Amino acid sequence: MPPTQPWSPSPGGASWDYSGSDGLEEELELCPTRDLPYGHAYVPALYLAAFAVGLLGNAFVVRLTAGRRGPRRLVDTFVLHLAVADLGLVLTLPLWAAAAARGGRWPFGEGLCKLSCFALAGTRCAGALLLAGMSVDRYLAVVKLLDARPLRTPRCARATCCGVWAAALLAGLPSLLYRGLQPLPGGRGSQCGEEPSDAFQGLSLLLLLLTFVLPLGVTLFCYCCISRRLRRPPHVGRAPRNSLRIIFAIEGAFVGSWLPFGALRAVFHLARLGALPLPCRLLLALRWGLTIATCLAFVNSCANPLIYLLLDRSFRARARRGACGRAGRRARRASSSLSGASSPSRDDSSVFWGRP
């Protein structure tokens, strides 16, 4: 039986040998495939652009939140860990860009292949769970304001983030076991892909349910409750509404970027398990769709700093001062000494400032 050709996040491969289930003793349907038109050009360019923007933006967010003096709001803790998760994904993008430019061939060895796949699986899980944690925090702050005070403490927030990272490490372990260098058809080298085993396909489906679908359901429930609360009196003030708008945008960007990838990966795993037989045309469409969905998911790693820049006035001001360097810091100190206590030092509509 010829081997099943694994899929990887980079386009490549002249043919895709598809089998619904590796254990069936029947003739396989050989499906000719073509690379996504011009994918070798724009996919690496997109990855490298996301790497540059995501590295600078998320590093600035980490510096801004980790170096903040004084009390920190609970949402700041989630923002900090979310930026760290995005940085972990961003650092793998040059590797995938190089592989995409080489037609899917992985030139960095099996060790980096496994570590890159581990980082992708772990950071995706961490991002989804952190956003779910952020949505629960906003739900408690807006809907259960008085009853939730014992839960909304810095210790609980830190414990939640530690639990998220522990779950992310566990979610990444299958990538260390089942991903590695797989031969490309025609002896054209090796790609970084997954072993075509039923055990891995079933485990991937389970992880997709637990680390994406379930957190997404929690997030949607929380924000539906928040939306209903915002429409009822007594009305929430303008500043909390503006802060919620920023968090809504972050959640929406994550769901819009990762939902196509998750849906297509679920179809892919079901097809591999033989539960969803697909003809060759749909297999080709699935393969192209996964390539595009992977690009969209990877680009999300640089989306949050851009959202902060567009919607958060405090972040824009601090980014502007950071770009100005020492001159900006001297001007800020001079302005602070002149204005004294009358100058507003915090903006409650910001994700980065406000009362704890």
The average pLDDT across 160-169 equals: 94
11 preceded by a cis bond (ω within 30 of 0): no
| 20 domain residue, yes or no | yes
| 200 domain residue, yes or no | yes
Confidence band of 200 (pLDDT split at 50, 70, 90): confident
- Indicate the pTM of the whole model: 0.79
Core vs surface per residue 168-183: b (16+ CB within 10 A) or e: beebbebbeebbbbbe
Tokens 């260390």 belong to 176
Q: Is the pLDDT of residue 319 over 80?
A: no
pLDDT given at position 11: 43
| 342 domain residue, yes or no | no
Q: Is the pLDDT of residue 277 over 70?
A: yes
| 10 domain residue, yes or no | no
Phi, psi of 180 (to 5 degrees): 180, -165
| 4 domain residue, yes or no | no
| 168 domain residue, yes or no | yes
Of 99, 128, 117, 132, nearest in space to 180 by CA: 117
CATH number at residue 38: 1.20.1070.10
**Who has greater pLDDT, 76 or 108?**
108
| 356 domain residue, yes or no | no
Rounded-to-integer distance, Cα 158 and Cα 283, Å: 44
| 162 domain residue, yes or no | yes
pLDDT given at position 84: 95
pLDDT given at position 38: 76
Give percent of the chain above pLDDT 90.
Answer: 28
Q: Which amino acid is at 73?
A: R
Contact indicator for 298, 260 with CB cutoff of 8 Å: no
Of 299, 322, 323, nearest in space to 53 by CA: 299
Residue 208 belongs to domain spanning: 15-322
β-strand 29-32 against 190-194: which pairing, if any?
unpaired
Rounded-to-integer distance, Cα 133 and Cα 250, Å: 13
Give the highest mean pLDDT range of 9-18, 84-93, 141-150: 84-93
For the chain, the domain total comes to 1
Average pLDDT of every residue of the chain: 77
Rounded-to-integer distance, Cα 116 and Cα 108, Å: 10
